[in-house]
Amino acid sequence: MPGVDHRAQLARLSAIDDHAARRVPVRTSTCLGICFQANVVVVQPSTAGRAAGGRPVWLGKVTEDELLEAVDDWIFEGGPGLSPLPEVLEDHLTSKDAKKPKKRKKDKKSKKDKKAKAEKKRKKDGKDKGKKKPE
């Protein structure tokens, strides 16, 4: 994603500690299959979080420092299964099965519109041919 300092984000994520002052493992991947949601962060639950029913949480479009700060705070508070997802991250929930949004199609011009435009151009070109250019 242009305009985002990916190295700085990775360094920021790599510096996160959980509530027990343990460094949180960070892995990078070349492709998670949803590049249109870049940057993607998958937050895995801790052992206690998984025991409490927590599952991995996929977050997309994590490109701003405030979002990284929210991820850090959430993990420090326990993360998936132990702490509710911060409100600022709710709009960034995604999944490995996310579908790329379809592009809006341009309005197709009817054959009638195309013929009318071509006829108008022919008439204009015909009128221009009979006129002399000023010298």
Its pTM stands at 0.65
The DSSP code sequence of 81-108 is TTSPPPHHHHTTEE-TTPPPPPPPPPPP
Q: Going along 27-124, which residue ranges are E strands?
A: 41-43, 57-59, 93-94
| pLDDT tens digit sequence for 86-100 | 999 999 888 776 666
Locate the domains of the chain by residue range. 6-94
Extract the tokens encoding 98: 């996310």
Q: How far is Cα 128 from Cα 85, in angstroms, rounded to an integer?
A: 68
For 40-66, write each residue's pLDDT tens digit.
Answer: 888 888 888 899 999 999 888 888 889
